[in-house]
Amino acid sequence: MTQARISDLLRRTWSTAFYYTSGYTLEKPPERETCPDLRNWALASLKWSVTEIIGRMHPNREILLLGNALWAGVSWFVFYTALRITFFQGLYDSNLQADRATQTVAALHIPMYVCATSMHIVSTLGFIAAFREIEFALHVYGHCVAVVALLMCVLLLITAVSVFAFHADILQLATSFGISFYTESDSFKKFVDRLQQEHNCCGVFSWRDWDKNSVFRCNEDNPSIYRCRIPESCCRLLDLPLCYEMVLNRTAEEVFKAIFPAPCLKQVSYLIELEQKRWLKIFAFLLLFFALLTATARACSRTLRLTHTWVGILIRYMS
């Protein structure tokens, strides 16, 4: 008797939870007698619940749920990127001589946190609107996604203009950021070393760019043991002993015999152009994605019926 009451209580709890999450009632849930094992009954109830959702789902609603799931994934990616930038900012909080480019990149975590939080809220609204078929929530969700699509248009325009108008400023920013970040990331260090060795170049504008790095900076206040050095990948011959020692306080005639005199400006400019074109494609894809999501939300708001009215609830219980 006690086991029957427990199973009935679990069954009622499951049906209530299913109703409040999806807006539907389990019209024909699996009977407890057909599944003597409680675990098998729970799995059968879960399978029936999923079948009920899919069976009653509107085609536009499927697209909306899929798009909103992708939206939620993008929001988590933005949040993860903001966490990485926060960690990056912590590396430079103690460095009072960090340049403006480094400080600008490190300060991006604040708007990214705001963006990720807003996307989480809109994503939650989208799931609630789709599962419970609330017309007002679908309208609000559609407007929110439309605003994001408009912002994507602005970002796409800014990125397209920056490819041509602000290439020099972006190159300067990338140079300062790359030089400063060289000694903080092993993977980025390997990338820069490979670039300089393959193209026989050193620095971006000149070999003295490495003086902007806090580890290599050549002044008396720098306590680093690598003061006035440059990376070993700048050397013409890697087996040349100490070719990178005390380079930044020498003249060009003295160091050009041991290091590559040519800058990596052409190669870095090419990489930046490739990155800008890649972001143009990403923004264009996101713009189309959000436009489709907006149209789907509006279609759902017009075609899906309201489920949380007394009439709708009575119809479901009577059917």
Please give the chain's pLDDT, 319 residues, in tens: 455 565 566 556 655 555 544 444 444 444 545 555 555 656 665 555 555 554 444 445 666 666 677 777 777 877 777 777 666 555 444 443 444 445 555 566 677 777 777 777 777 777 777 666 666 777 777 777 777 767 767 766 766 666 666 666 667 767 777 787 777 777 788 888 888 888 888 888 887 888 888 788 877 777 777 777 778 788 776 555 556 566 666 666 777 777 777 888 777 778 777 877 777 777 777 777 766 666 666 555 555 443 444 333 444 444 4
Please give the pLDDT value at position 93.
46
Q: Residue 109: which H helix or E strand, with range?
A: helix 109-132
Residue type, 197: Q
On whether both 66 and 51 belong to a single domain, the answer is no
- Residue 121 half-sphere exposure toward CB, CA atoms < 13 A: 9
Q: What is the rounded distance in angstroms from the CA atom of residue 262 to the CA atom of residue 202?
A: 6
Beta bridge partners, 153, equal: none
Residues 64 and 161 in one domain: yes
Residue 48, pLDDT score: 55
Could you tell me if residue 260 is inside a domain? no
Same domain, 116 and 163: yes
End residue of a domain, out of 55, 70, 99: 55
Q: Residue written as tokens 């052409």?
A: 266
162 & 66 share domain: yes
Confirm whether pTM is higher than 0.85: no
- Letter for the amino acid at 32? R
Specify if 14 maps to a domain: yes
Sign of the dihedral through C-alpha 230, 235, 238, 241: negative
Q: Which residue, 17, 38, 55, sits at the end of a domain?
A: 55
Would you say residue 9 lies in a domain?
yes
Domain end among 55, 70, 97: 55
Q: Specify whether 63 is located in the same domain as 163.
A: yes
Position 314 in a domain:
yes
Q: How far apart are CA 193 and CA 187, in angstroms?
A: 10
N-term to C-term CA, the chain: 31
Q: What is the DSSP string of 8-31?
A: HHHHHHHHHHHHHHHS---SSPPP
Within this chain, do residues 76 and 127 fall inside the same structural domain, yes or no?
yes
Is 93 part of a structural domain of the chain? yes
Tell whether 66 and 152 lie within a shared domain.
Answer: yes
Tell me if 282 is assigned to some domain.
yes
CA-to-CA distance for 43 and 187, rounded, in angstroms? Answer: 46
Nearest to 138 by CA among 295, 256, 314: 295
Calculate ∠ Cα 146-151-155, nearest 5°.
145
Q: Say if 290 falls within a structural domain.
A: yes
**Is 138 within the bounds of a domain?**
yes
The secondary structure of residue 204, as a DSSP letter, is S
Residues 80 and 42 in one domain: no
41 and 134 both lie in a single domain:
no
- Measured between alpha carbons, how far is 261 from 255 in angstroms, rounded to an integer? 8
Q: Examine the domain organization and report whether 83 and 123 are in the same domain.
A: yes
User: How far apart, in Å, are the Cα atoms of 87 and each of 83, 112, 144, 287?
Assistant: 6, 14, 30, 30
| Residue whose structure tokens are 């800058």 | 263
Cβ-based neighbour number of residue 247 at 10 Å:
24
**What integer pLDDT is reported at residue 262 of this predicted model?**
80
Can you give the pLDDT at residue 216?
80
At position 82, the amino acid (one-letter code) is A
| Domain identity same for 125 and 50 | no
* Per-residue model confidence (pLDDT) at position 42: 60
How many domains in the chain? 2
Same domain, 281 and 155: yes
Could you tell me the residue range of the domain that residue 40 belongs to? 2-55
